[in-house]
Amino acid sequence: GQNIDQPTEMTATEGAIVQINCTYQTSGFNGLFWYQQHAGEAPTFLSYNVLDGLEEKGRFSSFLSRSKGYSYLLLKELQMKDSASYLCALVNQAGTALIFGKGTTLSVSS
Protein backbone atom coordinates (compact mmCIF):
# COMPACT_ATOMS: atom_id res chain seq x y z
CA GLY A 1 0.00 0.00 0.00
CA GLN A 2 0.88 3.64 -0.06
CA ASN A 3 0.80 6.23 2.70
CA ILE A 4 1.23 9.93 2.00
CA ASP A 5 1.62 12.56 4.71
CA GLN A 6 1.31 16.33 4.41
CA PRO A 7 0.82 19.02 7.05
CA THR A 8 -2.86 19.84 7.41
CA GLU A 9 -2.55 23.61 7.48
CA MET A 10 0.06 26.32 6.94
CA THR A 11 -0.05 30.10 7.09
CA ALA A 12 2.20 32.67 5.45
CA THR A 13 2.25 36.34 4.48
CA GLU A 14 2.21 37.98 1.08
CA GLY A 15 5.61 38.13 -0.58
CA ALA A 16 7.05 35.36 1.56
CA ILE A 17 8.33 31.92 0.57
CA VAL A 18 6.66 28.75 1.83
CA GLN A 19 7.67 25.10 1.57
CA ILE A 20 5.00 22.40 1.74
CA ASN A 21 6.39 18.97 2.52
CA CYS A 22 5.11 15.58 1.46
CA THR A 23 6.48 12.31 2.81
CA TYR A 24 5.41 8.93 1.57
CA GLN A 25 5.85 5.21 2.11
CA THR A 26 5.32 3.09 -0.97
CA SER A 27 6.58 -0.06 -2.65
CA GLY A 28 6.96 1.82 -5.91
CA PHE A 29 5.51 4.62 -7.95
CA ASN A 30 5.72 6.19 -11.39
CA GLY A 31 6.00 9.84 -10.53
CA LEU A 32 4.77 12.47 -8.12
CA PHE A 33 2.35 15.28 -8.88
CA TRP A 34 1.43 18.46 -7.07
CA TYR A 35 -2.05 19.89 -7.63
CA GLN A 36 -3.61 23.12 -6.42
CA GLN A 37 -7.25 23.18 -5.35
CA HIS A 38 -9.21 26.29 -4.43
CA ALA A 39 -12.15 25.70 -2.11
CA GLY A 40 -15.01 23.96 -3.92
CA GLU A 41 -13.15 23.88 -7.23
CA ALA A 42 -11.37 21.25 -9.27
CA PRO A 43 -7.73 20.35 -8.63
CA THR A 44 -5.40 21.88 -11.22
CA PHE A 45 -1.95 20.64 -12.19
CA LEU A 46 1.08 22.43 -10.76
CA SER A 47 4.11 20.21 -11.23
CA TYR A 48 5.45 16.72 -11.84
CA ASN A 49 8.62 14.94 -10.72
CA VAL A 50 9.73 11.52 -11.83
CA LEU A 51 13.48 11.77 -11.19
CA ASP A 52 15.21 13.08 -8.11
CA GLY A 53 15.84 16.78 -8.16
CA LEU A 54 14.20 20.14 -8.55
CA GLU A 55 11.66 21.17 -11.19
CA GLU A 56 11.10 24.93 -11.48
CA LYS A 57 8.10 26.62 -13.04
CA GLY A 58 7.94 30.32 -12.41
CA ARG A 59 7.05 31.01 -8.78
CA PHE A 60 6.55 27.30 -8.09
CA SER A 61 9.21 24.62 -7.71
CA SER A 62 8.93 21.00 -6.70
CA PHE A 63 11.60 18.67 -5.40
CA LEU A 64 11.74 14.89 -5.16
CA SER A 65 14.06 12.54 -3.30
CA ARG A 66 13.08 8.93 -3.92
CA SER A 67 15.69 7.56 -1.51
CA LYS A 68 14.26 9.67 1.33
CA GLY A 69 10.59 9.25 0.41
CA TYR A 70 10.21 13.00 0.35
CA SER A 71 8.96 15.79 -1.84
CA TYR A 72 8.28 19.45 -1.34
CA LEU A 73 6.52 22.25 -3.16
CA LEU A 74 8.14 25.66 -2.88
CA LEU A 75 6.04 28.75 -3.50
CA LYS A 76 7.85 32.07 -3.85
CA GLU A 77 6.59 35.66 -3.79
CA LEU A 78 3.33 34.55 -2.25
CA GLN A 79 0.14 36.23 -3.38
CA MET A 80 -3.30 36.23 -1.79
CA LYS A 81 -4.59 34.09 -4.66
CA ASP A 82 -2.21 31.32 -3.57
CA SER A 83 -4.52 30.63 -0.63
CA ALA A 84 -5.69 27.11 -1.52
CA SER A 85 -5.15 23.45 -0.76
CA TYR A 86 -2.06 21.79 -2.19
CA LEU A 87 -2.30 18.11 -2.96
CA CYS A 88 0.61 15.70 -3.24
CA ALA A 89 -0.20 12.63 -5.35
CA LEU A 90 1.71 9.53 -6.39
CA VAL A 91 1.09 7.64 -9.62
CA ASN A 92 0.83 3.94 -8.84
CA GLN A 93 3.16 1.55 -10.61
CA ALA A 94 0.47 0.37 -13.03
CA GLY A 95 -0.27 3.97 -13.99
CA THR A 96 -3.95 3.40 -13.26
CA ALA A 97 -4.42 5.71 -10.29
CA LEU A 98 -3.32 8.85 -8.55
CA ILE A 99 -3.00 8.26 -4.82
CA PHE A 100 -3.57 11.57 -3.06
CA GLY A 101 -2.42 12.87 0.26
CA LYS A 102 -5.06 14.64 2.33
CA GLY A 103 -3.76 18.02 1.22
CA THR A 104 -2.27 21.08 2.90
CA THR A 105 -4.47 24.17 3.26
CA LEU A 106 -2.35 27.30 2.84
CA SER A 107 -3.66 30.64 4.05
CA VAL A 108 -1.86 33.75 2.78
CA SER A 109 -2.46 36.99 4.66
CA SER A 110 -1.48 40.55 3.91
How far is it, in rounded angstroms, from Cα 59 to Cα 102?
23
Residues 6+ apart with CB under 8 A from 99: 2, 4, 26, 29, 89, 90, 91, 92
Q: Is 40 in the site for another protein (CB under 8 A)?
A: yes
Residue with Cβ nearer another protein (40 or 58): 40
Q: Which of 18, 20, 24, 33 binds another protein (CB under 8 A)?
A: 33
Q: Is 70 in the site for another protein (CB under 8 A)?
A: no
Q: State the number of binding residues for another protein (CB under 8 A).
A: 23
Kindly state the smallest distance separating residue 40's Cβ from another protein, in Å: 7
